């Protein structure tokens, strides 16, 4: 197989066999099927679509930048954790995601305190963040139980 064939998007059994072992692969399941990832995505979209556009230009390299990084981090860390082979490694990434949710809650409060967003938008953001935190905590506990069950 030449380089052109390799990068043309055509599948080749020898390339696919380099991926994870077949017994661990479920083509119907991916990190995008996780409820925790879906709820964190809603939080990310709220900040990107409703809050960041309301920030003044002087916040472009301050609050705006911090919100962008934390918003992307909440879903990116779940996806990276999901891709880890060992459950314990995954939990570390899920905890980072949870920390980013807390950071976003603080940024939401700052946006409200500085008069950039309305009370209604603050409440909407708080509700989404709290729902995402509960779901993510539930997922972390689920993975912890899987680790305990494997040790038994």
- The ranges assigned to domains in the chain are 49-152
Residue 104 has a pLDDT of 98
Residue 23 has a pLDDT of 57
Ranges of the chain whose pLDDT falls below 70: 1-27
Residue 26 has a pLDDT of 64
CA 43 to chain centre: 9
Residue 22 has a pLDDT of 55
Domain 49-152 bears CATH identifier 1.20.1440.60: yes
Residue 150 has a pLDDT of 84
Q: Which residue has the tokens 């399941």?
A: 29
């Amino acid at each position: 197989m030449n380089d052109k064939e390799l990068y043309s998007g055509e599948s080749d059994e020898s390339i696919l066999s380099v991926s994870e072992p077949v017994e661990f692969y479920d083509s119907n399941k991916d990190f995008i099927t996780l409820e925790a990832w879906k709820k964190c995505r809603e939080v990310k979209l709220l900040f990107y679509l409703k809050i960041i556009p309301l920030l003044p230009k002087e916040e472009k390299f301050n609050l705006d930048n911090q919100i962008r990084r934390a918003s992307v981090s909440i879903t990116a860390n779940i996806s990276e954790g999901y891709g880890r082979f060992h459950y314990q490694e995954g939990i570390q990434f899920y905890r980072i995601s949870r920390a980013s949710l807390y950071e976003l809650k603080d940024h939401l409060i700052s946006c409200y305190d500085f008069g950039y967003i309305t009370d209604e938008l603050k409440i909407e953001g708080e509700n989404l963040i709290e729902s995402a935190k509960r779901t993510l905590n539930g997922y972390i506990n689920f993975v912890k139980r899987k680790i305990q069950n494997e040790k038994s």
